[in-house]
Chain A
Amino acid sequence: NKVGKADKAPGLPKSLVNSVFSHFAKTTVSRDTYPILQQCMDKYFDRLSDDLEAYASHAKRKTIELADVELLLKRQGFVSDKMPLKVLIERHLPMEYRKLLIPVATSGNRVIPKM
């Protein structure tokens, strides 16, 4: 925990974190929760990267792949037999990301409008 690490360390922008948090929170969120949120996010990303690294090396790879992320989500309980990864993607990600993650063959299709 170095001083001056905070302004150099990569992280999500404050406004984004606050808006996402207040979107999911059922009540109004006061502004002074942000430092704690930031700490939580830091810890979360630390652990996430640790886990992903371990999973990739477990499969004897040096590159983190989709399978590693899926395994992580499985272990965190987000992905299960009843809740496949694709459903989560459909539910929580905007259209352009969904298109990237769940490619659909649209060749010669005239029904799908051009975005």
Chain B
Amino acid sequence: MADTEEQRNFTQTQRLKAAVHYTTGLFCQEVAEHKEVEFSKQTIAAIAETTFRQCEIFARDLEAFARHAKRTTVNAEDVKLTARRSNALFSFITQRSEELVSNNQEQKEKRKKAGGKAKKKSDAPLQSGMDEDEDSNMA
């Protein structure tokens, strides 16, 4: 019983790794065309493996940050906190999150215009969405 569970877990991990590897390959292709360099297969595999392990670290940190703020939902604030170490990354992520919030708002306004009874569906978790919406209203 436990053995099959382990087996399933392993296959799941392998699938995820394959997906990450594929996407890494695409990114590397882009960079290769852009910068006119070549990536060996081992390099791409190494980047994929690094990415996979980094995801583990990110997941743990995000969970810890959300729990620290007494939430069970990870939101944009937690993501910003993980990227706090590097200034460039932090500003980039802040910018992107603001873009997302404004996009959500536009969509909401469109829905309101289209008809108030449209289904409520937001990509961002409710709490953060609400807070940041208020902020952007103030600005």
Q: Interface residue tally of chain B, by bracket?
A: 10 to 19
Interface residues on A, range: 10 to 19
* Interface residues in B32-79 (C-beta closer than 8 Å to A): 61, 64-65, 68-70, 77-78
Whether, in the assembled complex, B16 has its beta carbon less than 8 Å from a beta carbon of chain A, the answer is no
Q: Tally of A-B residue pairs with Cβ under 8 A?
A: 22
B127 → A minimal CB distance (Å): 12
**Cα distance A55–B78 when bound, in Å?**
10
CB-nearest residue of chain A relative to B78? A58
Main SS at interface, chain B = helix
Whose C-beta in chain A lies nearest to the C-beta of B84?
Answer: A54
A67–B84 touching, CB < 8 Å: no
Q: Which residues of B contact A2 (CB under 8 A)?
A: none
The reply to whether B61 and A55 contact each other, CB–CB distance below 8 Å, is: no
| Set of chain B residues within 8 Å of A74, measured between Cβ atoms | 64
Which residues of A lie under 8 Å from residue B69 when comparing CB positions? 58-60
Residues in chain A within 8 A of chain B (CB atoms): 54-55, 58-60, 67-68, 71, 74-75
